[in-house]
């Protein structure tokens, strides 16, 4: 039966129709929960829901740890997330699109997939879906959980409506103490809130070279004998900033985060070579990577990397990938969406912070000091390695769901097999992964 949320969703959909109708989206049949039923076998089925590309990539080390022991269903909401999940996991897992949160769409989806347990990557907490899982007796929780201060402020305003969903979770395996406190404030019982670290560290591929990078450089006309700054996931006004502060003699390549900003970014770097043109121009020193899936190649060519969306009001981007590639990496002051990662790297001496005013000086210093770049890169890789291991902790937790160890009961106890002893963290007694 429809519930009180269904008419609210319909009203919101009608109000926002002018916005979402402009965006090309596929898979509407699947969004409404109508999918091919999955086979039912002897093994338990675990559903991992990853909203988009970032969350899908975070599962790369977890999924292989699970598939020998259970059937895995990976779901995603966005078109790009579903495409990436299909590329990575379709050979070993079922991959499907996550439904809209209308009660009837959720019911259709669960009837077709029949998961024995559900893990939501980072957050993505939809009330009807959580309630339906609870009604069916399906354990449901969050893995790799994160709730930024900005998002927390928004959730608190609607706690009256969403708090029950947080309280209904069987577990919340979160990345750090700050996130744990926010999950608890939203209603998760402290006995079910577990600190397991971030799986993004495990997804870092520590490599010195990337296939295709040489071809990219040749096709764009990048001079390998001259220093190159690569700015990844740039946001509004950042291309102009970088263009103006780029040290003389250095080449600059910018890769905007959003495709709709490609033309704007090109205007901010007059005369730049655009990847989409497929025409190298000898002597060019400004380049625009207006393509999808080639940023890692560009990072591997860089002498210095600047992480975008961090010099304005967009809350930062993930710096792990360029650091893993051994690049001296610079990030701006706005990093609230990746505060813990930035803190870990910066504390280890593996990441440099700069402001709009100091960015030019920072780039000049790093480009002229090879030893400083090398030290920065090496310390960053050490920090990555020291933070890895979260995927294995999550795997143990999730597999224990099928043993009955982490089902509800005495809420003071976390799954003993994974979290053997409480530790006092941030003044709050909670279970911490070892």
Three-state secondary structure readout of the chain = CCCCHHHHHHHHHHHHHHHHCCCCCCCHHHHCCCCCCCCCCCCCEEEEECCCHHHHHHCCCHHHHHCCCCEEEEEECCHHHHHHHHHHHCCCCEEEECCCCCHHHHHHHHHHHCCCEEEEECCCCCHHHHHHHHHHCCCEEEEEECCCHHHHHHHHHCHHHHHHHHHCCCEEEECCHHHHHHHHHCCCCHHHEEECCCCHHHHCCCCCCCCCHHHHHHHHCCCCCCCEEEEEEECCCHHHHHHHHCCCCCEEEEEECCHHHHHHHHHHCCCCEEHHHCCCCCCCCEEECCCCCCHHHHHHHCCEEEECCCCCCCCCCCCHHHHHCCCEEEECCCCHHHHHHHHHHHHCCCCEECCCCCHHHHHHHHHHCHHHHHHHHHHHHHHHHHCCCHHHHHHHHHHHHHHCCCCCCCCCCCCCCCCCCEEEECCEEEEECC
Q: Domains plus CATH for the chain?
A: 5-203+390-432 (3.40.50.11720), 213-386 (3.40.50.2000)
Both tokens assigned to 367: 């480009």
For residue range 356-366, what is the model confidence (pLDDT) as tens digits?
999 999 999 99
What is the Cβ-side half-sphere exposure of residue 190, based on CA atoms within 13 angstroms?
13
Both tokens assigned to 388: 């890895």
Q: pLDDT at residue 212 above 60?
A: yes
For residue range 335-354, what is the model confidence (pLDDT) as tens digits?
998 988 999 999 999 999 99
Give the count of beta carbons closer than 10 Å to the beta carbon of residue 349. 14
Share of the chain above pLDDT 90, in %: 74
Measured CA to CA, the distance from residue 166 to residue 163 in angstroms comes to 5
pLDDT of residue 43: 94
Over residues 304-315, mean pLDDT? 96
For residue range 79-137, what is the model confidence (pLDDT) as tens digits?
889 999 999 999 999 999 999 989 999 999 999 999 999 999 998 899 999 999 999 99
Of the pLDDT bands very low, low, confident and very high (cuts 50, 70, 90), residue 293 is confident
Measured CA to CA, the distance from residue 415 to residue 173 in angstroms comes to 11
- pTM beyond 0.75, yes or no: yes
pLDDT of residue 279: 83
Of the pLDDT bands very low, low, confident and very high (cuts 50, 70, 90), residue 148 is confident
pLDDT of residue 22: 58
Q: pLDDT at residue 18 above 70?
A: no
pLDDT of residue 425: 31
Ramachandran category for residue 139: left, alpha or beta (phi over 0 → left; psi -120 to 50 → alpha)? beta
Residue 5, Cβ density class (10 Å: 0-12 exposed, 13-18 middle, ≥19 buried): middle
Measured CA to CA, the distance from residue 82 to residue 72 in angstroms comes to 15
Over residues 185-200, mean pLDDT? 94
Cβ neighbours for 335, distance < 8 A, ≥ 6 positions apart: 310, 315, 316, 342
For residue range 356-393, what is the model confidence (pLDDT) as tens digits?
999 999 999 999 999 999 999 999 999 999 999 999 99
Q: What are phi and psi of 217, to 5 degrees?
A: -60, -45
Bridge partners (DSSP) of residue 252 are 229, 286
Positive or negative: CA dihedral 223, 225, 226, 230: positive
For residue range 235-288, what is the model confidence (pLDDT) as tens digits?
999 999 999 999 999 999 999 999 999 999 999 999 999 999 988 888 899 999
pLDDT of residue 417: 31
Cβ neighbours for 63, distance < 8 A, ≥ 6 positions apart: 48, 72, 74, 88, 89, 92, 93
Q: pLDDT at residue 157 above 60?
A: yes
Residue 281 CA, chain-centre distance (Å), reads 35
Measured CA to CA, the distance from residue 298 to residue 54 in angstroms comes to 18
Measured CA to CA, the distance from residue 231 to residue 317 in angstroms comes to 11
Cβ neighbours for 192, distance < 8 A, ≥ 6 positions apart: 141, 169, 170, 171, 172, 411, 414
């Amino acid at each position: 039966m429809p519930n009180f949320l269904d008419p609210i969703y319909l009203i919101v959909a009608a109000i926002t129709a002018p916005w979402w109708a402009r965006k090309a989206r596929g898979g509407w049949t699947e969004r409404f929960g109508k999918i091919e039923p999955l086979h039912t076998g002897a093994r338990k089925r675990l559903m991992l829901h990853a909203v988009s590309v970032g969350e899908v990539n975070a599962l790369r080390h977890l999924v292989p740890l699970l598939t020998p022991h259970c059937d895995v269903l990976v779901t995603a909401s966005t078109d790009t997330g579903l495409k990436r999940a299909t590329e990575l996991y379709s050979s070993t897992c079922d991959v499907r699109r996550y439904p809209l949160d209308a009660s009837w769409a959720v019911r259709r989806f669960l009837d077709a997939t029949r998961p024995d347990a559900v893990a939501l990557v980072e957050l993505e907490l939809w009330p009807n879906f959580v309630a339906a899982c609870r009604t069916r007796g399906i354990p449901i929780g969050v893995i790799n959980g994160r709730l930024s201060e900005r998002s927390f402020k928004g959730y608190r305003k609607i706690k009256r409506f969403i708090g029950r969903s947080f309280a209904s979770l069987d577990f919340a395996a979160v990345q750090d103490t700050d996130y744990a406190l926010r999950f608890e404030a939203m209603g998760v019982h402290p006995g079910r809130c577990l600190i397991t670290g971030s799986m993004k560290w495990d997804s870092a591929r520590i490599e010195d070279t990337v296939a295709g990078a040489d071809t990219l450089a040749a096709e764009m006309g990048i001079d390998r004998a001259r220093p190159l700054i690569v700015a990844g996931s740039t946001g509004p006004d950042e291309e102009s900033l970088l263009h103006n502060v780029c040290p003389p003699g250095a080449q600059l390549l910018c890769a905007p985060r959003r495709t709709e900003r490609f033309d704007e970014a090109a205007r901010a770097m007059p005369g730049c070579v655009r990847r989409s043109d497929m025409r190298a121009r000898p002597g060019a020193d400004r380049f625009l990577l207006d393509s999808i899936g080639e940023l890692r190649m560009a990072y591997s060519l860089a002498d210095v990397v600047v992480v975008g969306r961090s010099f304005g009001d967009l809350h930062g981007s993930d710096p792990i990938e360029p650091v893993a590639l051994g690049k001296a990496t610079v990030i701006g002051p706005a990093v609230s969406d990746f505060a813990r990662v930035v803190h870990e790297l910066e504390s280890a001496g593996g990441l440099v912070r700069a402001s709009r005013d100091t960015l030019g000086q920072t780039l000049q210093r790093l480009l002229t000091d090879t030893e400083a770049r090398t030290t920065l890169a090496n310390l960053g890789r050490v920090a990555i390695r020291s933070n890895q291991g979260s995927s294995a902790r999550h795997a143990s937790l999730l597999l224990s769901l099928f043993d009955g160890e982490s089902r509800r009961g005495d809420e003071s106890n976390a799954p003993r097999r994974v979290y053997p002893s409480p530790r006092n963290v941030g003044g709050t007694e909670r279970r911490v992964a070892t």
